[in-house]
């Protein structure tokens, strides 16, 4: 709950993307001059990840300390309420057997943080004080840095609470299921069940809890001298063009960025390369794929758990020892462990399977909260199969689609509106006019439309009879 709030807050107060949302468990580590690992993104559409360490720059220096000159002031007052609601229904069956499932839910997230304060350093003074200073190359943290493909940064600014605050969440879910069985004219059977679930959570936040921070890059020469770089650094500041290694990881389509007015058809070649990578998932047994999909549905809407799983997969797929190990979260730890155990138990193509799953979940992690919720609701065999068929149609055609060409499951008004909302969350406007369907990119630039197609294609490989129904891998069979 805390992580969701910090990300929501950072999106609103920092549109330029310099601030980094803080984790509640990391708050005590986030002091000025704290050393923060920066882990470069593995896929071109992702973002770098920041992980605070237990050390500050002064812990690494050979001699003496650097005392930063601080400036502290009130930043903003924050008291807000976020509300959301949704509903859905499914009808299956024929004249003999009928099944109807309905569900609806609502939630309310309330923040009572009062005044947040901002603390930052005098950068010119820090630059002067750091000139000619050396770190101890024998320090364990520096040894890890020298072995891994990870950069070091220093915390230069932080935003924190000034008094005890609270975050509260209220949610209501209600569902019903009814079935009808008709056989002989003299015999019929009906059944109906209902489920109601209420949740009311409150989290008290101590004074001095860090909500967000920003960093500067630090480089270390072979003889231990440090150099600070004061270019903007944060969750949105990384430019893929700065890293020449991305073409080695992602292939020739790594630098392709979709812009407003583009057709999704322009990403056909790029998505074809991705789908080829995902074909290895269809080699998993039907039971394994079904179990994976069930476990992933439990994790998709829990961002902290999803992040832990992505990090674990990156370590396994790279074969390198982890520099930092996120703690498994209690509420989803068994799902994460079972997903990893399933993947590690595969005797064939294990490395390619791990890379494919890492790419899939890295794409899922980039979706908006609204996009994640909508995609999770489509995580059934029929839902994912229909979404994949639609993506294939959009990729294959630069012209508007005929209404009748849309998968039958998505032609229903309720399902089509969910598709519209799903694609809208990823900067694609889907609409119907007369007997035609249009899909136009609405963002000025970015990767969200492509990320959504990657997520759909990967998840579709985990349903039964995937090759026959979605055509994801048929071109390579």
Q: Is the pLDDT of residue 254 over 50?
A: no
Tell me the mean pLDDT in the region 125-135: 93
DSSP-assigned beta bridge partners for residue 439: 430
Mean pLDDT across the chain, nearest whole number? 79
Q: Are 450 and 258 in contact (CB under 8 A)?
A: yes
With 0-12 CB in 10 A as exposed, 13-18 as middle and 19+ as buried, what is 308? Answer: buried
Q: How many C-beta atoms lie closer than 10 Å to residue 402's C-beta?
A: 12
Distance CA 112, CA 334 (A): 33
Whether 60 shows a pLDDT value over 90: the answer reads: yes
* Contact present, 79 and 109 (Cβ < 8 Å): no
Cα end-to-end distance, the chain, whole Å? 44
Phi-psi region of 471 (alpha: psi -120 to 50; beta: other; left: phi over 0): left
With a cut of 70, say whether residue 279 has pLDDT above it. Answer: yes
Q: Decide if 371 contacts 425 (C-beta within 8 A).
A: yes
* Residue 465 pLDDT exceeds 80: no
Backbone angles phi, psi at 345, to 5 degrees: -80, -10
- DSSP secondary structure of 249-294: HH-TTTT--EETT-BGGGGHHHHHHHHHHHGGGGGS-HHHHHHHHH
Q: Does position 3 have pLDDT exceeding 90, yes or no?
A: no
Q: What CA–CA distances, in Å, run from 285 to 94, 386, 466? A: 30, 22, 12
Q: If you average pLDDT over residues 229-254, what whole number do you get?
A: 47
Distance separating alpha carbons of residues 450 and 448, to the nearest angstrom: 5
- What span, in angstroms and rounded, lies between the C-alpha atoms of 311 and 48? 12
Lowest-confidence region among 16-25, 241-250, 464-473? 241-250
CA 86 to chain centre: 21
Residue 270's pLDDT is 77
Which residue in this structure is represented by tokens 């039907």? Answer: 286
pTM beyond cutoff 0.85: no
**What phi, psi does 222 have (nearest 5°)?**
-65, -25
Round to whole Å and give the CA distance between 396 and 9: 39
């Amino acid at each position: 709950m805390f992580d969701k709030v910090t990300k929501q807050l950072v999106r609103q107060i920092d549109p330029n993307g310099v601030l980094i949302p803080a984790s509640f468990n990391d708050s005590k580590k986030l002091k000025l001059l704290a050393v923060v690992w920066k882990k470069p993104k593995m896929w071109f559409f992702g973002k770098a990840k920041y992980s605070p360490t237990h050390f500050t720059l002064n812990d690494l220096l050979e001699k003496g300390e650097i005392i930063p000159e601080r400036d502290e002031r009130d930043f903003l007052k924050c008291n807000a309420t976020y509300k959301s609601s949704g509903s859905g229904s499914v009808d299956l069956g024929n004249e003999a057997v009928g099944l109807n499932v309905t569900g609806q839910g609502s939630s309310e997230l309330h923040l009572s943080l009062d005044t947040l304060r901002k603390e930052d350093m005098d950068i010119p003074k820090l630059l002067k004080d750091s000139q000619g200073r050396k770190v101890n190359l024998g320090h364990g943290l520096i040894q890890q840095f020298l072995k891994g493909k990870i950069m070091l940064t220093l915390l230069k600014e932080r935003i924190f609470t000034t008094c005890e605050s609270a975050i509260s969440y209220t949610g209501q879910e209600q569902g019903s299921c009814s079935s009808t069985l008709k056989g002989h004219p003299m015999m019929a059977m009906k059944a109906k069940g209902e489920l109601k679930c209420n949740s009311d959570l409150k989290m008290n936040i101590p004074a001095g809890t860090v909500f967000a921070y920003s960093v500067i890059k630090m480089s270390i020469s072979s003889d231990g001298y440090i150099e600070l770089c004061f270019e903007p650094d944060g969750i949105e500041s990384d430019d893929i063009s700065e890293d020449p290694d991305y073409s080695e990881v992602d292939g020739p389509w790594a630098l392709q960025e979709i812009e407003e007015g583009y057709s999704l058809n322009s990403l056909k070649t790029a998505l074809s390369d991705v789908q080829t990578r995902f074909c290895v998932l269809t080699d998993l047994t039907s039971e394994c794929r079904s179990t994976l999909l069930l476990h992933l549905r439990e994790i998709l809407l829990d961002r902290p758990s999803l992040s832990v799983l992505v990090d674990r997969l990156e370590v396994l797929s790279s074969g390198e020892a982890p520099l930092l190990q996120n703690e498994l979260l209690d509420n989803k730890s068994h799902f994460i462990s079972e997903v990893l155990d399933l993947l590690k138990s595969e005797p064939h193509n294990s490395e390619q399977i791990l890379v494919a799953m890492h790419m899939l979940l890295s794409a899922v992690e980039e979706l908006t909260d609204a996009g994640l919720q909508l995609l999770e609701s489509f995580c059934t065999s029929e839902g994912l199969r229909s979404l994949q068929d639609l993506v294939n149609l959009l990729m294959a055609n630069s012209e508007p689609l005929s209404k009748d060409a849309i998968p039958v499951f998505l032609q229903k008004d309720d399902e089509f509106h969910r598709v519209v909302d799903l694609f809208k969350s990823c900067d694609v406007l889907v609409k119907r006019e007369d007997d035609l369907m249009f899909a136009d990119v609405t963002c000025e630039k970015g990767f969200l439309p492509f990320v959504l197609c990657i997520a759909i294609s990967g998840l579709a490989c985990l349903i039964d009879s995937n090759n026959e129904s979605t055509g994801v891998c048929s071109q390579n069979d």
